[in-house]
């Protein structure tokens, strides 16, 4: 074990402090949005002084960037995990069920992630309401989404007549997030509309997720049973 004053101990303490500050910042940004968030409130919530926040993150924008970087890393890892089975196939050889399973997994994974990360859900909602103005300033600091695997995958889907549309693949996939976001962010409204139902129960959320799976996947894939479609 490292001595309290050792270099390793100091590095460990610094990492712990950064994580505590980022957790506090995420909570404040989720509650008040970027413009409404105050550095002194973040410092108070974290238990560290403002000077340390500036030392680690530079300014409020730098702090916001680091908060979103953590989520970006999570989503990049999930993307790689979901894509891996799809990239095993040669050109033009994706089975219909494989493509369907891929899209189902994407919807379920994004829904679950937003459900399990309500602060990120609120930050997304703030960004959308404010026209993504802050996100545009920091986008270059986040991991760039590799379009090539998606483009290749959707090109194969078009060639094998699995997909309904040739609309930009990355946008088709990106639209899944705000659809899931809209449902989860609107749960309080739906609860007012249906006060006799527990829409936040595990069973209700499962039904909602599977409804979105049906809605989204059904809208993206050709129905093999439809008249005129290839079997």
What is the SS3 assignment for 181-196?
Answer: HHHHHCHHHHHHHCCC
Residue 209: give its domain's CATH number: 1.10.357
Same domain, 128 and 38: no
Same domain, 129 and 167: yes
| Cβ atoms 150, 174 nearer than 8 A | no
pLDDT at 165: 87
Same domain, 15 and 99: no
| Cβ atoms 74, 172 nearer than 8 A | no
For residue 151, tell me if it sits in a domain.
yes
Same domain, 26 and 86: no
Tens of pLDDT, residue by residue over 81-104, are 888 877 765 555 678 888 899 999
Same domain, 105 and 137: yes
Average pLDDT value for residue range 6-30: 84
Contact partners, residue 12, CB within 8 Å, separation at least 6: 2
pLDDT at 144: 63
Q: Is the pLDDT of residue 13 over 90?
A: no
* More confident of the two residues 223 and 112: 112
pLDDT at 99: 87
For residue 203, tell me if it sits in a domain.
yes
Tens of pLDDT, residue by residue over 102-154, are 999 999 999 999 999 999 999 999 999 999 999 999 999 887 666 777 777 77
First to last CA, the chain: 64
Q: Say what the pTM is.
A: 0.88
| Residue 2 pLDDT level (bands cut at 50, 70, 90) | very low
Q: Is the pLDDT of residue 56 over 60?
A: yes
pLDDT at 135: 95
Residue with tokens 């997720």: 209
Same domain, 95 and 186: yes
Same domain, 106 and 173: yes
pLDDT at 10: 47
Question: Which of 73, 216, 79 is closest to 153 using CA atoms?
Answer: 79
* More confident of the two residues 74 and 5: 74
pLDDT at 24: 98
Residue 119 buriedness (CB in 10 A; 0-12 / 13-18 / 19+): middle
pLDDT at 157: 74
Domain with 14, as residue range(s), is 6-58
For residue 228, tell me if it sits in a domain.
no
Q: Percent of the chain scored above 70 by pLDDT?
A: 87
| Cβ atoms 94, 156 nearer than 8 A | yes
pLDDT at 54: 95
* More confident of the two residues 149 and 175: 175
| Residue 4 pLDDT level (bands cut at 50, 70, 90) | low
Query: What distance in Å separates the CA atoms of residue 39 and residue 53, rounded to the nearest whole number?
Result: 8
- SS3 (DSSP) at 154: helix
Query: What distance in Å separates the CA atoms of residue 17 and residue 218, rounded to the nearest whole number?
Result: 46
pLDDT at 93: 63
For the chain, give the mean pLDDT: 88
Same domain, 15 and 109: no
Last residue of a domain, one of 20, 37, 58: 58
Q: Is the pLDDT of residue 1 over 70?
A: no
């Amino acid at each position: 074990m490292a001595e309290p004053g050792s270099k390793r101990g100091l590095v460990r303490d610094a990492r712990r402090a950064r994580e505590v500050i980022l957790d506090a910042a995420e909570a404040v940004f989720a509650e008040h949005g970027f413009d409404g968030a105050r550095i002194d409130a973040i410092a108070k919530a974290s238990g560290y002084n403002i000077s340390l926040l500036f030392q680690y993150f530079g300014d409020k924008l730098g702090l916001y960037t680091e908060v979103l970087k953590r989520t970006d890393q999570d989503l990049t890892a999930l993307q790689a995990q979901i894509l891996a089975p799809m990239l095993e196939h040669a050109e033009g050889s994706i089975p219909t069920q494989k493509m369907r399973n891929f899209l189902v997994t994407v919807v379920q994974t994004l829904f679950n992630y937003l459900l399990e990360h309500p602060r990120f859900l609120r930050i997304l909602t703030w960004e959308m309401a404010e026209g993504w103005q802050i996100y545009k300033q920091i986008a270059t600091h986040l991991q760039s989404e590799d379009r090539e695997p998606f483009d290749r995958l959707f090109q194969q889907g078009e060639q094998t007549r699995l997909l309904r549309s040739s609309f930009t693949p990355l946008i088709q996939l990106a639209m899944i997030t705000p659809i899931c976001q809209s449902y989860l962010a609107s749960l309080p409204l739906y609860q007012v509309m249906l006060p006799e139902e527990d829409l936040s129960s595990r069973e209700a959320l499962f039904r909602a997720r599977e409804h979105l799976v049906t809605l989204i996947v059904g809208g993206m894939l050709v129905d093999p049973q439809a008249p005129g479609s290839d079997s």
